Every structure is written in C-alpha cells, then in structure tokens.
Amino acid sequence: MALVRVALDARSYDIVIEQGALDRAGETLRGFARKGRLVVVTDTNVAATQLPRLEASLRAANVAVEPIILPPGEQTKSWRHLEQLLDALLGQEIERGDHIVALGGGVIGDLVGFAASILKRGCHFVQVPTTLLAQVDSSVGGKTAINAKAGKNLIGAFYQPSLVLIDPSTLDSLPPRETRAGYAEVVKYGLIDDPDFFAWCEANADALLAGDPNARTHAIERSVSAKAAIVADDERETSGRRALLNLGHTFGHALEADTGFSDMLLHGEGVAAGMALAFRYSARLGLCAAEDAERVTAHLKAVGLPHDLATAHVTADGAALVGHMLHDKKMAAGTLPFLLARGIGQTFLSKDVALNDVAAFLEEERAGS
C-alpha cells in the first residue's frame, strides 16, 4: 500500500493506493459512515462492474449502502443532473456531517464534489476513482465543477475530499481507449517539470496500458505525489504554480468544445492533443527546440492518442477555436494565460500570448493536418 498526504492544514487528507483496495473498502470507509450507512453515487457503467465489490465490502463491515446511479458520460456534468443528484441526496436525508462516496471517473467525482460543496452549505465526500484519469488527476486537489453551454467546468468550487481511495485493479474493466485517455494525464506530469518521469513513460507506457500492476501503481503514485505537492503549495491557483497542471488544457478544452464535449473526443484525448499543440506552438515561438516538440508528438502518437487537429476530429478554423478559448475560466482582464514550454520538463505560464497569433498557428496546423 502507498500513502500520499495532501497537506492543507485543517483540510488535509490521505490518498490511499492499493491493489484490491475496493474489496477492503469496508475497513477503510467504516469510520466515515454515520448511523451505519453511506450513500454511494456512481454511473450505470461503474454500477455494473465495481459497485458490487464496494457494496460487498461495506456490508461485510456492517455498513448499509444507499446507491444513487446516474447516466455515464460528460453530459452528466450538467445543471439537470446536478439537480437530480441533489434531490436524491436530500431524499436520503443527508446531513452536513455525512459523507457521500463518489465511485467512478472524473465526471462522477466532479459532480459529486460540487454537490457536496453546496448541499446544506457543505457536507463531506470521499473519492473512489475508477478510471486512470480520475486516479491520477481529477480526484486529487478539490476542483469540482459542472459544464455550461459556454464551456467546460465553468460552474464549480474548490472543495477538498476527506479521503481518496485508489484501487488500480478497477482499471481492468476499462476499455483501452479510456485507459489511453487517462494516460495523457500521467505523461503530463513528466512534461511539466519531471523529464526523468517522461523518459520512464516512454519506456513503460506499453506495460502500463497493457495492465502491468507494477507499472500502473508506480505511475499513479508518482502522479498523485506530484499533484499533491503542487496543490499543497497553491490550493486555489493564486500563486500560479497550480496552473502548471493545466498543461494542454487551454488548447484541449477548445477542441472538446468544438466536438460538443462528446464521446468524439474524450477529455484526456483533448489534453493529449492540447499538449502536443502547446509544445509545437512553443517551438514555433522559439521557446523550445523543435526536437522536443517532435518527441512529445511522437510519444503521444505511439500510444494511440490524438496529437493534432485531424486525430482530434476537429475541423474548425483557428478563429473559431480561439473563440472557444475566450470562455476559458482563466481569462483575466481580457488576457488568457497559456502553458508553454522551454523544453520537456520546463513548462511555464505565459501571460503575453497574442490570441490572433494562436489563431494563425491553429490555421497552420489545420492546413498541415
């Protein structure tokens, strides 16, 4: 078992990483069950594969389970499903001292976390992430949100969980595409500030994606350790350090918006293409060597992830994609910060990027795809 601490004073919590942890979750979560029961929120896909394991473990620990099952997919991060979830939780007579368990991927984790932040002015929740993307990124750090017509994650709150319980064996039930999408958030940590980890990813991606438990566990622990350190230093993105975690997201969210936040382009796939674009744009500006941008693109291509506009199924012109970026929640005084790179492991935040130049770059990319 690996244990990573997110150090946030009174809001500190542990991330537990253990193969088979879901089958022993009753022992871990029993202390969070007031009045001997826990409400577990999940989606129909996870309910079929992982909910029975969690229910069996909780019941063996004399904890009653009250499941709430929602539809799968990005469309569930909506006002409609937030209202549905809140009504269901109120129907279960959730109190402020209770814990809600989020069992699922990033959509369930984001939605449940936001619901917990506003229900009765704040109750508690536990993250039990079941996808690679959620395990290495979205379950850690307290960013909760739903989407709006104007863009992704525009309505939400910083709200930390009480515990993150990660069982790498839940990845066995994922389709390969879902695992690859999550891998984009793994390799991101190497590109931000850890070139040695990026090299490890180049050497071990095949084993990780094939289900090797040692490779999985190492990647998850390394990723959440990196994120925990950044979150502890900059919980609400006030100093700029936490913004580094958004590498690939400004480009990626624009690509997701163009594809309608649909299954045409999964979030991790958008991030992958966005990271490749960020490095190629950095090379175009003369900030990093073209060889570094080519190396990033080659690795993403080798593992089967989108790495340009064509493989992301995006046909919009540069101006339209920049139009999506104008709705980015990081916009401030008409300026949009960009994560750029001076090399692999040398990501930095730039606040002087000209959006018309970004549009021209994206037009060049579109013509070359």
Name the active-site residue from 235, 237, 256, 269.
237
SS3 for 77?
coil
Name the active-site residue from 18, 55, 185, 221.
185
The whole-angstrom separation of Cα 234 and Cα 30 is 31
- To the query of whether residue 149 is one of the catalytic residues in this protein, the response is no
Which tokens belong to 72? 């799968």
- To the query of whether residue 237 is one of the catalytic residues in this protein, the response is yes
Across 109-196, where does the E strand assignment appear? 124-129, 143-148, 151-158, 163-166
The whole-angstrom separation of Cα 279 and Cα 281 is 5
- To the query of whether residue 218 is one of the catalytic residues in this protein, the response is no
Q: For 246, which DSSP code?
A: G
- To the query of whether residue 152 is one of the catalytic residues in this protein, the response is no
Name the active-site residue from 24, 216, 253, 299.
253
The whole-angstrom separation of Cα 197 and Cα 185 is 13
Q: Report helix, strand and coil shares of the chain as percent, to nearest 5.
A: 55, 15, 30
Residues β-bridged to residue 151: 148
- To the query of whether residue 253 is one of the catalytic residues in this protein, the response is yes
- To the query of whether residue 120 is one of the catalytic residues in this protein, the response is no
- To the query of whether residue 284 is one of the catalytic residues in this protein, the response is no
The whole-angstrom separation of Cα 113 and Cα 29 is 17
Name the active-site residue from 77, 124, 249, 280.
249
- To the query of whether residue 249 is one of the catalytic residues in this protein, the response is yes
The whole-angstrom separation of Cα 250 and Cα 295 is 21
What backbone torsions phi and psi does residue 266 show, to the nearest 5 degrees?
-70, 160
Q: Please calculate the CA angle 342-347-350 and round it to the nearest 5 degrees.
A: 85
The whole-angstrom separation of Cα 75 and Cα 68 is 17
Name the active-site residue from 188, 216, 222, 242.
242
Name the active-site residue from 53, 246, 269, 307.
246
Tell me the one-letter amino acid at 330. K
The whole-angstrom separation of Cα 342 and Cα 357 is 18
Closest CA to 296 of 281, 312, 279: 279
- To the query of whether residue 366 is one of the catalytic residues in this protein, the response is no
Closest CA to 132 of 14, 218, 231, 216: 216
- To the query of whether residue 81 is one of the catalytic residues in this protein, the response is no
Closest CA to 126 of 33, 55, 49: 33
Cβ atoms within 10 Å of 17's Cβ, excluding its own: 22
Across 159-194, where does the E strand assignment appear? 163-166
Pairing of strands 163-166, 124-129: parallel
* Catalytic center residues: 121, 143, 185, 227, 237, 242, 246, 249, 253, 267
